[in-house]
Structure 1
Amino acid sequence: MDDALLHAPLVSPTTALSAAAPVSAAEAARLQALPPAEYWLEIARELNWMTPPEVALEGSFGDFSYFRGGTMNVSVNCLDRHDPQTVALHYEREDGRSETWSYGELTDAVARFAACLQDLGVTKGDRVGIYLSNCPEAFVAIQACYRIGAIYSVIFAGFSASAVRDRLDDAQPKVVVCTDATLRRGKVVPLKATLDDARSGIHSIEAVIVARRIDPQAVLNTDEHDFHTLLNAQTRRADPLPMEANEPGFIIYTSGTTSKPKGLVHSGVGFLVGTYANVKWALNLRPEDTYWCTADVGWLTFPIFALVGGLAQGATHVIYEGSIDTPTPERPYQMIEKYGVTKIFTAPTALRMLRRAGDAALSSHDLGTLQLIALVGEPLDPETWHWTQETLGGGRIFVNNTYGQTETGTAWASSMVGLTPTRPGACGQPLPGYRAQVVREDGSHAEPGELGYLTLTEPFPCLARTVWGDHERYHSVYLSEYPGKYAASDAALFDQDGQLWVTGRVDDVMNVAGHRIGTMEMEAALITHPAVSEAAVVARPDPIKGMVPVAFVVPRAGTVGSAELEQQLSDAIVKGVGSIARPARVIVVGTLPRTRSGKIMRRLLRDLLESGEVKGDLTSLENPDAIEVVRGEIAG
């Protein structure tokens, strides 16, 4: 990577965040130094247990347990133990619909909906499909599953019928909870109709519960129930079931490329312990905070930082249904100002989207309550980091870039907010309880500054335990490449201060004439050009050099592509990375294929470069029209 990035000054926590830090610097250092098993046992005791654990880790990767014999209930820790008068949720939708729920109201609804599920025959270990948008019913349904020990499986609201079917067919749920529809950029997305197509022939489904949020008169079939009719008629409150710490809590599917999606199984209690600690350190979320996680409920970021880890801290949550830049790019700033948001968890793509819209939208809104923006999802370029801190945050906020995966169940690399520094573009350091190592291809330890393969060397409670129904696949994907370690399949390095830099998937590291180059540093160099809004760099096979980089660039509004601009951008990469990284082509495009969560789908760009066709799973692609746009620019 560019030495200038790796040696940029460390940024210390703000005075306000330091004053509110959850522990002293000395205590943070003590926790960081503890052996992981001791740390997790200590942090777990901050939660409410029915049977407190006496042991921490037993076993090793592939067959381990944490807190064996300890029992608790996730919903009790997320809901019952908080002040019932505190606002739990401020909900808004694109069209202006809004609701406010207190912790007391949410706890009551969860307990009664859990009783509704029991009345429909759902018992401990049964699966419940959750096909919902970012709405209060998602909080109710998921926490109700935790309350009675049902294993829930969240299905992303943007999936096609075939993708929904794959997940239902694998999990075999007894009940599915859905909304009739949701809104996305002003358009109605028909979830119930999609579910109707997807569930045909899946005989495990005995009932469907529909929250009619768009059309109150939507017609229901004979085995379908209205969510609110059931809930309003229910007077019984289900008791919270004691759950052993290693029993499965939920299944979440990762999108496949050529094979079927993997149903990752997380322990309910282990996930709670991990996310509780994650939110404590990465956000220092407190009951007095008003906090907005912009992720979709269908991606694990939302359960980690809102539905479970966020609620466990007792803060007031803002949830938004739809695209956050709809109806106008000012909407996020309106939300921050209206609710007095103090902390935000979002993705780098969302910040780049706001930056692309221009700074004028900021000028008429008071964002003075904002203290922290934390990020996860993809590499963060330093240019966006500085814009966020200086322009959006007025120079007074802390920007905490983090790193984690669906498999790890937390963003385990992060600044400890208020306690440890960060470096623009880096992902902080491994939090207490995690042990990470960057290795070379042969498994040997990589030196600081050396790009290699990211691994984790010790288990932790929130790590996925298996692939649903296919433990052999879990072993082969995650544990076989570097025996005794979990392989993240991401390229990374640690700098001289121990800051983690994740440059992308291993596939995004290219070997150009014997030099290993990560795409992130090339993209960061492109973003520094004033004409560039977004950039993606991928590798193309080359008969002489092995691989060569090709850059795709989305220009800022008002910028027109030209040969001169392409040359400038090529030179920007050379200046930022070196002549070995000069791209074979710079392709200026109006849009790039991306997931609904905003990630650029770089593998589709590689497919289009190599063959002109795209392969693999397209269910998470939000803008299919981008494929033809990119194909045309490649050909042109």
Structure 2
Amino acid sequence: MSGPTDSLSQLIDRPLQPLRPEWIVPERVEALRAARAFPDPDAYWEWVAGQQRWSTPWRTVRSGDLEDFRYFEGGRINVADNCVDRWAEDPATRDRAAVVWKGEPGDVRTVTYAELADEVSRLAAGLLALGVARGDVVGIYMPNLVEAFTAIHACNRIGAIYTVLFSGFGEEAVASRLQAARASVVIVADASYRRGRRIPLLETLRAARKRAPSVRATVVVDRTGDAAALDAGEHAWADVLERGAAGTPAVPLDPNDPSFLIFTSGTESKPKGVVHSVGGFLLGTWANAHWQAGYEPGDVYWVAADVGWLTFPIQAVVGGLACGMTIACFEGALDTPTPARFYTICARHGVTKVLAAPTLARMLRKFGDDLAAAHPLPGLKLITMQGEPLDADTFEWTSSTFDVPVVNAYGQTETGSTWTYPVYGVEPLKAGSVGTPVPGHTFEIVDDEGRPVPTGVKGNLVLTAPFPTLARTVWDDHDRYLATYFSRFPGRYATHDEAVLDDDGQLWVLGRADDVINVAAHRMSTMEIEAVVTAHPAVVEAAVVGVPHDTKGTIPIAFVTLRGDVDAASARDEIGRHVVAEMGGYARLDAVHVTAAMPKTRTGKIMRRLLRDLVVHGRPTGDTSAMEDPAALDVVAAAVRS
């Protein structure tokens, strides 16, 4: 692996920024010091386990290695009991808001822990009456609704395995995932609201069920108030709750049992169902939410993500509720009906902490400083971001505009949580880095032969010890799990990301190792080039991909969205010169395509492989089911042709 470019060197050589005194939370300083003092990760995870409620004590903390590990054998625990029941049973917290929900049309609902516990228990009993047994798979095909929280914890309560289907999925994506999961029941909203439109989820599910014979029943949430007559095998949500009115107790479960499946999309035709465990996911997400955001009295924590993105279960449905937090949940698009939507939600619901993808901050920056100034948010204490690289300019704009610390975190679907970031209220910040690993996690950066590289040298990021939230397998294909994550560097988990460690001990994740391109024998990350492009003052948003070239092997292509007052032709030239000046001629962009839209997932992540497809093949060749707005591809295609 090569050393960092001049541009990256300039970033990592910046000094650490100590937290301002008003941002420091003294009790968290002491708590983190104690957590880092544990002699090894297992001792730390034993402490985390002690923060939860167990029905049966465990015998051993951990057995096995990275490829085949188990935690807290002999113990029995229930996720719903820890996330809902124990807060509902405590007189001090039973009336605390668990979820503060807002629909895109403006409807609002607040549910206390006591109310959520009652609804979870009734739905769990109703699912049992429908024949759902422990180990059965339940599909949850819903937008961000309170009912999504209820459905997930009803499954947790009875030991059913749930899988959340992104509410933007079409018929093919829904059918393929239900087939792969062998789902027996699906819980669906009749429709969802998005950008002023009604998305017919029940209609899509009915079409998909024709290819999913394992589905024997559907539970329908009447989101719109005018759900159509139900077909055979379909049951109204209200009727299922009524059938389960007596409730049912939480089932004690082995912490290593499968809890849920999350399907990753990509170029493969067969969806890959990553499996997370009952106790592992609970413990790891409790710790994740505790360190990354932390409960403080009066907090309202807005996880501005879709329930179909694993971040939402991590930080909201499981981790957030396990910490006893109040979670804000919003159904719609954050620029609808006006660009002020983000600000008005924060003000209306007293939001104190926000988690989002960096795309949200870039969108707010695009809307302008005047809009931010017109909507001050004095109660805001934290913005934390994850899901894709956070460039330094966006970090600095966000921190200065909102006058809050910005915590940049890194994790993956397979890791089940973010595992490296500056702990909120404690640790210093460095624009662009993802801080240092939180307790319980260890890593290395290695070259292609698996040898550790020195500080300041890029390499492959690997994990060197197990931790509870790490995925246990791929559903129905354990060989695929072993081959994907452990074959390249035996004994270590391959993240397939490239990273570098700086002299301050700060970790920089540079993007997928398969996004490292070789231009005339020069290896570079497209994310490094992208950071330079994004730093240009004319650019609002950018994506850089590598495409094949007969002579150079691979060449970088940039897609950019510009400020409204910028001339596209001159900006193209300026951006090209800017990259050469910052990184050298070997990083020269072969083309700069100006586009008003980018293909994105609903959580705001740019689908760069689709951009590459448009240049190389003229059309997408992989899975497009996670894309929010298919029309964006037409916009980009037109830009490529121009």
Note whether the superposition's TM-score is higher than 0.5: yes
Q: Deviations over 1:243-281 (max 9, x none)?
A: 111011111100131331111110011100000001111
Q: Secondary structure at the residue paired with 1:67?
A: strand
Check if 1:372 corresponds to 2:387.
Answer: no
Counterpart Cα distance in 2 of 1:535 and 1:544: 26
Match of 1:580 in 2: 586
Kindly tell me: are residues 14 and 283 of structure 1, through their superposed partners in 2, closer, same or farther at Cα, counting changes over 3 Å? farther
In structure 1, which of residues 602, 615, 622 is the aligned counterpart of residue 628 of structure 2?
622
Q: How does 1:115-134 map to 2 (within 5 A)?
A: 115-134=125-144
Q: In the alignment, what sits opposite 2:63? A: 58
Question: Does residue 30 of the first structure (1) align with residue 36 of the second (2)?
Answer: yes
Q: Could you tell me how far apart the structure 2 residues matched to 1:451 and 1:416 are?
A: 24
User: Which of 500, 519, 527 is 2:507 aligned to?
Assistant: 500
Indicate the RMSD between aligned Cα atoms, in angstroms: 1.5
TM-score in terms of structure 2 length: 0.96
Counterpart-to-counterpart distance in 2, 1:26 and 1:93: 37
Q: Do 1:548 and 1:584's aligned partners in 2 also have CA atoms closer than 8 Å?
A: yes
1:483 to 487, 490, 499: 490
Q: 1:488 to 1:118 in 2, by over 3 A?
A: same
Task: Give the distance between the partners of 2:100 and 2:126, measured in 1 at CA.
Answer: 25
Secondary structure, counterpart of 2:568 in structure 1: coil
- Report the equivalent of 2:542: 535
Residue in 2 that maps onto 1:407: 414
Q: Does the CA-based 8 Å contact 1:41-1:55 persist in structure 2? A: no
**1:200 offset after TM fit, Å?**
0.9
- Does structure 1 residue 254 correspond to structure 2 residue 282? no
- Mapped pair 1:474 → 2:481: yes
CA distance in 2, matches of 1:469, 1:29: 37
1:612 paired to 2:582: no
- The Cα shift of 1:21 comes to 4.2
Q: Are 2:635 and 1:635 aligned?
A: no
| Bigger Cα displacement from structure 2, 115-124 vs 195-204 | 195-204
Distance (whole Å) between structure 1 residues aligned to residue 27 and residue 473 of structure 2: 35
Mean CA deviation greater in 308-317 or 550-559? 550-559
- CA deviation digits over 1:218-257, x for unaligned, max 9? 2211211110232145321110110111011111100131
Say if 1:12 and 1:420, in contact at 8 Å, map to a contact too.
Answer: yes
Comparing 291-300 and 535-544, the one that deviates more? 535-544
Deviation at 1:454, TM superposition (A): 1.2
What residue in structure 1 maps to residue 447 of structure 2?
440
Q: Establish whether residue 138 from structure 1 lines up as the match of residue 148 from structure 2.
A: yes
Moved over 4 A (4+): none
Distance 2:598 2:168 in 1: 18
- Determine if contact 2:126/2:242 at 8 Å carries over to the other structure: no
Match of 1:181 in 2: 191
* 1:101 is aligned to 2:111: yes
Q: CA deviation at 1:353?
A: 1.1
Match of residue 225 from structure 1: 235
Give distance in 2, aligned partners of 1:366 and 1:59. 51
Instruction: Give 5+ residue unaligned stretches, structure 2.
Output: 88-92
Is contact 1:21–1:419 with CA below 8 Å preserved after alignment? no
Task: Give the structure 2 partner of residue 49 of structure 1.
Answer: 54
Work out the percentage of aligned pairs sharing the same amino acid: 46
- Aligned-partner SS, 1:491: strand
Q: SS where residue 511 of structure 1 aligns?
A: strand
* Aligned mate of 1:10, from 16, 25, 41: 16
CA contact (8 A) 2:356 2:385 kept: yes
CA distance in 2, matches of 1:275, 1:428: 18
Shift in Å, 1:614: 1.8
Following superposition, the deviation at residue 624 of structure 1 comes to 2.1
Question: 2:127, 2:240 within 8 Å by CA — same for their partners in 1?
Answer: no
Contact 2:275 2:472 in 1 (8 A): yes
Q: SS at 1:311's partner residue?
A: helix
Alignment check: 8 A CA contact 2:35 2:44 kept? no
Deviations, residues 53-89 of structure 1 (Å, cap 9, x unaligned)? 2322211122110111111111111111221110111
- Displacement of 1:545 in angstroms is 2.7
In the alignment, the residues of structure 2 paired with residue 622 and residue 59 of structure 1 have an alpha-carbon distance, to the nearest angstrom, of 41
- Of the structure 1 ranges 1-10 and 244-253, higher mean CA displacement relative to structure 2 is found in 1-10
Change (3 A) 1:315 1:200: same
| Per-residue deviation, 1:630 | 2.2
Q: Equivalent residue for 2:90?
A: none
When residues 131 and 287 of structure 1 are mapped into structure 2, their CA distance, relative to the original with a 3 A threshold, is: farther
Offset at residue 171 of structure 1 (A): 1.0
Equivalent residue in structure 1 for 2:573, among 561, 567, 571: 567
Partner SS, residue 623 of structure 2: coil
Q: Under a length normalisation based on structure 1, what TM-score does the superposition of the two structures give?
A: 0.97
**Residue 42 of structure 2: SS of its match in structure 1?**
helix
Which moved further from structure 2: 501-510 or 215-224?
Answer: 215-224
Deviation at 1:543, TM superposition (A): 3.1
Letter in 1 for 2:516: V
Corresponding residue number in structure 2 for 1:336: 346
Using a 3 Å threshold, how does the CA distance of structure 1 residues 16 and 236 change in structure 2: closer, same or farther?
farther
**Aligned-pair distance for 1:458?**
0.8
Instruction: Provide closer, same or farther for how the CA distance between residues 174 and 331 of structure 1 changes in structure 2, counting only shifts above 3 A.
Output: same
- 8 Å CA contact 1:163–1:619 kept in 2: the answer is yes
For the residue of structure 1 that corresponds to 2:123, the secondary structure is: helix
Which has the larger displacement, 178-187 or 575-584? Answer: 575-584
- Structure 1 window deviating more from structure 2 (542-551 vs 367-376): it is 542-551
Whether 1:78 and 2:88 are equivalent positions in the alignment is no
1:614-633: CA deviation from partner (whole Å, max 9, x where unpaired): 21111112222222322232
Q: 1:572 to 1:28 in 2, by over 3 A?
A: farther
**2:213 paired with 1:207:** no
More moved, 349-358 vs 129-138: 349-358
1:193 corresponding residue in structure 2: 203
The SS at the match of 1:88 is strand
Secondary structure at 1:437 match in 2: strand
Mapped to 2, the partners of 1:190 and 1:11 lie a distance apart of 48
Aligned residue for 1:242? 252
Correspondence 1:293-312 to 2 at 5 A: 293-312=303-322
Answer yes or no: is the 8 Å Cα contact 1:287–1:314 preserved in 2. Answer: no
1:67 maps to 72
Secondary structure class of the residue paired with 2:533: helix
Deviation at 1:365, TM superposition (A): 2.0
- Provide the C-alpha distance between the structure 1 equivalents of 2:304 and 2:107, rounded to a whole number of angstroms: 17
2:458–2:500: 8 Å Cα contact kept in structure 1?
Answer: yes
2:55, 2:629 → 1: CA distance? 47
Q: Which amino acid aligns with 1:635?
A: R
Aligned equivalents of 2:80, 2:497: Cα separation in 1: 33
Number of aligned residue pairs: 631
> 2 CA distance for matches of 1:446 and 1:259?
36
Equivalent residue, structure 2, for 1:384: 394
Deviates more, 1:242-251 or 1:598-607: 598-607
Q: Which residue of 2 aligns with 1:599?
A: 605
Verify the 8 A CA contact 1:286 1:314 in the aligned structure 2: no
- 1:509 alignment counterpart: 516
**What is the deviation of 1:26?**
6.9
Q: CA deviation at 1:579?
A: 2.9
Larger deviation, residues 350-359 vs 143-152: 350-359
Asked if structure 1 preserves the Cα contact closer than 8 Å seen for 2:175 and 2:208, the reply is yes
Q: Which secondary structure state, in structure 2, belongs to the residue aligned with residue 34 of structure 1?
A: coil
Stretch of structure 1 that moved more, 277-286 or 373-382: 277-286
Q: Secondary structure at the match of 2:220?
A: strand
> Which AA in structure 2 matches 1:634?
V
**Is residue 450–residue 493 contact of structure 1 (8 Å, CA) maintained in 2?**
yes
